[in-house]
C-alpha cells in the first residue's frame, strides 16, 4: 500500500471497496474501478513529489437515516450523481479539473454517462479560465487517452452521434503513457498541451 504524502492511506472510493469485496474477479466493471484507483495512486505520487495537488471529490451520498445511539451510524442512504467532475486541483497556481471515464467499446467513447450537470460544470470551468479535460480508458485496448473537454462539449452539442469514435480521439487527443509509478502519468501531457 502506497502511503498518502501526509501519512493518510489512500482512500479508494466506497464503491471500489465494495466491488472489490463482492467480486474479486477482473471483469469490465471493476476494470473501470481500477482505472479510478490507478488515477488516485498517480495523484498521490504527484502530491508526494510536490508536482501537483489533485484530489478526488468524495462520492456524494444522500443520507436518509442515522442511528445516533450507535455514534452517528448511517443506516439508510443511497449513492447520488456527482454534479461536478470527479477530480480537481492545482498545478503552478492554475486550476485543473477532469473526469475519468472508461469505455468498454473498442472503437468509440459513449457520451451517455456524462450528465448535463457535468457538461455545464466543464463549460463553467473554461469560462473561469480553468483547464478541463477527460481521461478516457479503453478497457479492451488497455489504452488511456487525454481529450480536452472543449472537444467533448463541441462534439456533444454539434454532432448527432452519441459517442466519439476512437479515430477522432486519436486525432484530437493524446495517448497517455502507462507505467509503474505513476500508473497513469497524465501530467506531462497536460503541461505540454496547455503550455503550463
Task: Between 2 and 77, name the residue whose CB sits nearer to its own copies.
Answer: 77
Which lies closer to its own copies via its Cβ, residue 131 or residue 176?
A: 131
Least spacing, CB of residue 123 vs its own copies, in Å: 9
Query: In this structure, what C-alpha cell is assigned to residue 115?
Result: 450528465
**Minimum CB distance to its own copies, residue 63 (Å):** 3
Task: Collect contacts of 49-53 with beta carbons under 8 A, ≥24 apart.
Answer: 51/91, 51/187, 52/89, 52/90, 52/91, 52/96, 52/187, 53/89, 53/90, 53/91
Of 63 and 141, which has the nearer Cβ to its own copies?
Answer: 63
Q: Which is nearer to its own copies, 41 or 143 (CB)?
A: 41
Task: Cite the beta strand spans of the chain per DSSP E.
Answer: 53-56, 61-67, 73-79, 87-91, 94-103, 108-110, 131-138, 143-148, 163-165, 174-175
Cis peptide before 182 (omega within 30 of 0): yes
- Give the nearest distance from C-beta 184 to its own copies in angstroms: 19
Q: In angstroms, what is the minimal distance from the CB of 100 to its own copies?
A: 17
Binding residues (CB under 8 A) for its own copies: these are 4-8, 11, 14-15, 17-18, 47, 50, 52-53, 55, 57-63, 66, 71-80, 82-84, 88-97, 116-117, 120-121, 124-125, 127-130
Nearer to its own copies, 112 or 127 (CB): 127
Closest C-alpha to 125, from 91, 161, 150: 150
Q: How far is the CB of 178 from its own copies (least distance, A)?
A: 24
Q: At closest approach, how far in Å is the CB of 117 from its own copies?
A: 5
Closer CB to its own copies, residue 117 or residue 161? 117
- Residue 21's region, left for phi above 0, alpha for psi from -120 to 50, else beta, is alpha
Would you give the distance in Å from CA 112 to the centre of its chain?
16
User: What's the helix, strand, coil split of the chain in %, to 5?
Assistant: 35, 30, 35
Output phi, psi for 103, to 5 deg.
Answer: -115, 130
Amino acid at each position: 500500500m502506497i502511503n498518502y504524502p501526509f501519512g493518510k492511506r489512500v482512500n479508494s472510493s466506497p464503491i471500489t471497496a465494495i466491488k472489490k469485496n463482492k467480486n474479486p474477479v477482473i471483469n469490465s466493471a471493476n476494470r473501470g474501478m481500477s482505472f479510478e484507483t490507478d488515477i488516485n495512486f498517480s495523484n498521490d505520487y504527484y502530491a508526494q513529489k510536490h508536482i501537483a495537488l489533485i484530489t478526488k471529490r468524495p462520492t456524494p451520498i444522500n443520507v436518509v437515516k442515522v442511528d445516533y445511539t450507535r455514534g452517528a451510524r448511517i443506516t439508510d442512504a443511497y449513492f447520488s450523481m456527482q454534479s461536478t467532475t470527479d477530480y480537481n486541483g492545482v498545478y503552478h497556481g492554475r486550476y485543473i479539473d477532469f473526469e475519468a471515464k472508461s469505455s468498454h467499446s473498442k472503437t468509440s467513447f459513449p457520451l451517455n454517462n456524462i450528465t448535463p450537470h457535468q457538461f455545464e460544470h466543464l463549460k463553467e470551468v473554461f469560462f473561469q479560465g480553468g483547464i478541463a479535460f477527460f481521461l478516457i480508458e479503453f478497457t479492451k485496448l488497455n489504452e488511456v487517452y487525454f481529450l480536452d473537454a472543449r472537444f467533448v462539449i463541441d462534439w456533444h452539442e454539434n454532432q448527432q452521434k452519441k459517442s466519439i469514435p476512437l479515430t477522432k480521439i486519436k486525432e484530437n487527443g493524446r495517448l497517455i503513457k502507462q507505467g509503474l509509478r505513476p500508473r497513469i502519468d497524465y501530467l506531462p501531457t497536460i503541461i505540454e498541451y496547455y503550455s503550463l
